[in-house]
Amino acid sequence: MRHFYTLLLYLAAPFALLRLLWKSRQLAGYRGRIGERFGFVPRTSGDAIAVWVHAVSVGEALAAQPLIEALLARYGERSIWVTTTTPTGSARVIAAFGDRVHHSYAPYDLPDVVSRFLDRVRPARFVVMETELWPNLFRACCVRGIPLTIANARLSPRSFRGYGRVRGFARDTLSDVTMIAAQSKSDAARFRTLGGVRERVRVIGNLKFDLNLPEASLDDGSLLRARFGARPVWIAASTHDGEEAAALDAHAALVELQPDALLVLVPRHPQRFDAVWSLIEDTGLRSERRTRLAALDKSGHAPDLSAAQVFLGDSMGEMFLYLAMADVAFVGGSLVDVGGHNVLEPAALGLPVLFGPQMHNFEAARALLLEKIAAVEVADAAQLAEELAVLLASPDRCRAMGAAGAAAVAGNRGALKRLLTIIEAQTPCE
């Protein structure tokens, strides 16, 4: 099965290049540094790479930040190599760590590419965030004696069913893993059923509970909110195609009841910013966007924002700034078939959280917030508008839900400490 898988990958390689070029039409970063995806990264020379951390995109990179900071404190700057798959994930790593870490795109899962990458990087340990299973890479690490930990490991029921169709191959791949540090008991059970050896699967909790709140961004968000005046504000965060229209419909209904309400709309992917701006303009709602506002401020022509009804967050790496502006947060990827995004960030800030029914990527966090009465699940734009109207008209209920969410996040910290113990217990092989 591995040979067949590898043959298919080699046959698909030219199409992967074409796909990168096609995707670069909307996000130019896909055209850059293509050689890194084939293992052509700088040699580490005198730098000893204590840990290689792979975080596929923005969500995983954000989850990995506390871990990477802890590893830097333990092993020193330039001792950690971080890879991503997407340009947005790359931008997040560069913004967060600069040149304190080595950074590149991850190698494609081809034997010669993987070998080239490992020859140049020479990591002592390898940590993969969440649910990235790469058979050739994992086998190469096993052969070279590089301990491999799947950190913050999650396996949704949908992914479990998918891997279940090639269970023997999945079991073979998991046999090369040193430790699976699972987010929850249900994730651990699915990994064990799939073929993870019981003593190599541990439940450590969700690393996203250990997030660091960036005080500077929160202060900037509070200052920015003040410029819009004293009024109710809600955020639709990390939205996907279809959810922006739902959020705008909900907001149009909301302003009928609360004319001064403000929507902060933050699409998940930067290549969609302009399209979403056009969608906002088509509604006729008075609007402003972050990049235009920043340019006007820089030119000394600060606009009056008191009449704005929608504010487009069209910048990267500023989610906490946008969350700090809000009284209530709707988290996207949940009204469409994506699986939801991180509901713990707004909860940690003490915001009531709303989300749709498609939350299979965050099932444990969803269940926790619903249990603690810190969140409400909505079915569609109409119910979203109803819940927003109730919450924004009820400051006491907002505060109670927000406090419950913040307490739930605080009470579940500790995964980072447990994960570090696991990683450092893995003895580097000579």
Helix axes 135-144, 2-23, angle to 10 degrees: 120
Q: b/e map of 281-298 (b: 16 or more CB within 10 Å)?
A: eeeeeebbbbeebeeeee
Q: b/e map of 327-349 (b: 16 or more CB within 10 Å)?
A: bbbbbbbbbbebbbbbbbbbbbb
Structure tokens at 224: 């920015």
Task: Calculate Rg over the CA atoms of the chain.
Answer: 22
What CA–CA distance (Å, rounded) separates 168 from 174?
10
* DSSP codes, 339-354: -----HHHHHTT--EE
The β-bridge relationship of strands 51-54 and 126-129 is parallel
Compute φ and ψ for 377, nearest 5 degrees. Answer: -95, 130
CA 275 to chain centre: 22
Instruction: State yes or no: is 36 an active-site residue.
Output: no
Catalytic residue among 36, 60, 243, 318: 60
What CA–CA distance (Å, rounded) separates 251 from 261?
8
What CA–CA distance (Å, rounded) separates 246 from 248?
5
Closest CA to 130 of 235, 209, 60: 60
Just list the catalytic residues.
Answer: 60
